[in-house]
Amino acid sequence: MTHSPKDAQTDAHIVVCALYKFVTLKNFTSLREPLLRTMEANHVRGTLLLAQEGINGTVASTREGIDALLAWLNQDTRLNPIEFKESLSASMPFKRTKVKLKNEIVTMGVEGIDPKQVVGTYVDPKDWNSLISDPDVIVVDTRNDYEIQVGTFKHAINPKTEAFRQFPEYVDTNLNPGAHKKVAMFCTGGIRCEKSTALLKEKGFEEVYHLKGGILKYLEEVPKAESLWEGECFVFDDRVTVNHDLEPGSYDQCNACRLPITEADKQSEKFQQGVSCPHCFDRLTEKQKARFMEREKQMQLARSRGEAHMGEEVAETVVHRRQVKEDERRQQQLKTQAGKTD
């Protein structure tokens, strides 16, 4: 666990806190309401996931708000100490406050994988460079392809997955405990590697390593001059990416497909604000594009009224209602036509 290295400056910043813990929570459903109340009382935004296997999520607030939330979580002996990492943002990167109940706190979709029972060997950030520079070590990035395109470690393997639940298939197809004696894995904050290293251990891989605290911890602790990280790090909030100083990076996000986009992508004829980008233009139907256009129109109206903070939610609601009315109108037309035919 670690506080932001720039705590002295947090009066002018929002603290973004990524946290998780694998622990058996048999009563996890009953934790939702008190946790949500605690977040709302301390003006904490973001999403936390609760499942029988633990807690996971990223939230943001003032220094005082985050401290209050962590103190509340650590009152539960099952969660204390909770693993967390912090960075700073000049603005609030989340729009809403949510606590969701899930089957898994990170979805791999393989039964029987339990990081509480078996997991890879943790490697501190200061020792990571030495490990991944060993020619006998296979270095695997467990994140999704769109995250890896933004940045990764030098010489790391990209499994080219679109979702974490595809990772087990990649392992079965490409990794062999007999041929790959040493495997080192990493992810954004560490949680996906808890499961990926547990998976490999269950499959008979003997030497399996895991970057403790993930990329975010590495960027915090390893000086840029010594770093083997290349590019920026994708994060699941409105910052989109962070650079080596854990400050908001240079990428934006497509509101249609949610993938990171560059300034060059925005110059493409396939880019339309809020509607499409080069990544999704050819995959979207005309109906989807029309819906996104309407959503963007409603968001622009919300911004013009000074309601930007709730614009997306308002837009989605308006578009949904119009779709329902349109569907009802079409159903009525079909019934009328059917009646005339009879």
Q: Which of 12-21, 214-223, 277-286 has the lowest mean pLDDT?
A: 12-21
- Residue 333, pLDDT score: 66
Is 214 domain-assigned? yes
- Residue 300, pLDDT score: 86
Judged against a pLDDT cut of 70, whether residue 307 lies above it is answered with: no
On whether both 24 and 92 belong to a single domain, the answer is yes
Judged against a pLDDT cut of 80, whether residue 316 lies above it is answered with: no
| Mean pLDDT value across residues 163-178 | 97
On whether both 132 and 88 belong to a single domain, the answer is no
- Residue 290, pLDDT score: 94
Which tens digit of pLDDT belongs to each residue from 247-265?
Answer: 999 999 999 999 999 999 9
Distance, in Å, from the CA atom of 122 to the CA atom of 131, rounded to the nearest integer, reads 11
Q: With helix as H, strand as E and coil as C, how does the chain read? A: CCCCCCHHHHHHCEEEEEEEEECCCCCHHHHHHHHHHHHHHCCCEEEEEEECCEEEEEEEECHHHHHHHHHHHHCCCCCCCCEEEEEEECCCCCCCEEEEECCCCCCCCCCCCCCCCCCCEEECHHHHHHHHCCCCEEEEECCCHHHHCCEEECCCECCCCCCHHHHHHHHHHHCCCCCCCEEEEECCCCHHHHHHHHHHHHCCCCEEEEECCHHHHHHHHCCHHHCCEEECEECCCCCCEECCCCCECCCEECCCCCCEECHHHHCCCCCECCCECCCCCCCCCHHHHHHHHHHHHHHHHHHHCCCHHHHHHHHHHHHHHHHHHHHHHHHHHHHHHHHHHC
On whether both 84 and 132 belong to a single domain, the answer is no
Total tally of structural domains belonging to the chain: 2
Is 241 domain-assigned? no
Beta-carbon contacts of 128 under 8 Å, excluding residues fewer than 6 positions away, are: 186, 211, 218, 222, 228
Residue-averaged pLDDT of the chain: 90
Is 161 domain-assigned? yes
Structural Rg of the chain based on CA atoms: 22
Which tens digit of pLDDT belongs to each residue from 45-79?
Answer: 999 999 999 999 999 999 999 999 999 999 999 99
Judged against a pLDDT cut of 70, whether residue 12 lies above it is answered with: no
Provide the CATH number for the domain around residue 150: 3.40.250.10
The residue out of 214, 231, 248 marking a domain boundary is 231
The whole model's pTM is what? 0.83
On whether both 136 and 194 belong to a single domain, the answer is yes
On whether both 78 and 158 belong to a single domain, the answer is no
Distance, in Å, from the CA atom of 334 to the CA atom of 342, rounded to the nearest integer, reads 12
CB atoms within 10 A of CB 76: 15
Provide the CATH number for the domain around residue 37: 3.30.70.100
On whether both 172 and 80 belong to a single domain, the answer is no
Please give the residue range of the domain that contains residue 74: 7-101
The residue out of 200, 231, 262 marking a domain boundary is 231
What residues act catalytically? 187
On whether both 68 and 24 belong to a single domain, the answer is yes
Q: Which of 77-81, 166-170, 284-288, 335-339 has the lowest mean pLDDT?
A: 335-339
Judged against a pLDDT cut of 90, whether residue 302 lies above it is answered with: no
On whether both 135 and 67 belong to a single domain, the answer is no
Is 79 domain-assigned? yes
CA distances (Å), origin 15, targets 43, 72, 189, 198, 294: 12, 17, 16, 31, 33
Cα 247 from chain centroid? 17
Contact 168, 264 (CB under 8 A): no
